[in-house]
Structure 1
């Protein structure tokens, strides 16, 4: 039963993690958002009460 021999599977595991840790993170970190967030003002807007015609 070859699946019980850990040497090829361990090498595949290590190689795949090396690929994941060297190729994928720079691609993710290079992502830029199209719209940068802007700070909102701390002023609360003035709201008027609604005038319901049926009350």
Structure 2
């Protein structure tokens, strides 16, 4: 049974985790800031009515 060399697997593992750690914040930032379903609705809370007491 042949033994696998650890060197190429280490580079594959390191490269895949590097891509994952770089791509995840970009995906989160693009979802959080660019795909806002209510742009400005929650930020401007101006109440023009008053209680009728």
TM-score normalised over the length of structure 2: 0.50
TM-score normalised over the length of structure 1: 0.49
Instruction: Looking at secondary structure, tell me which structure has more helix per residue.
Output: 2
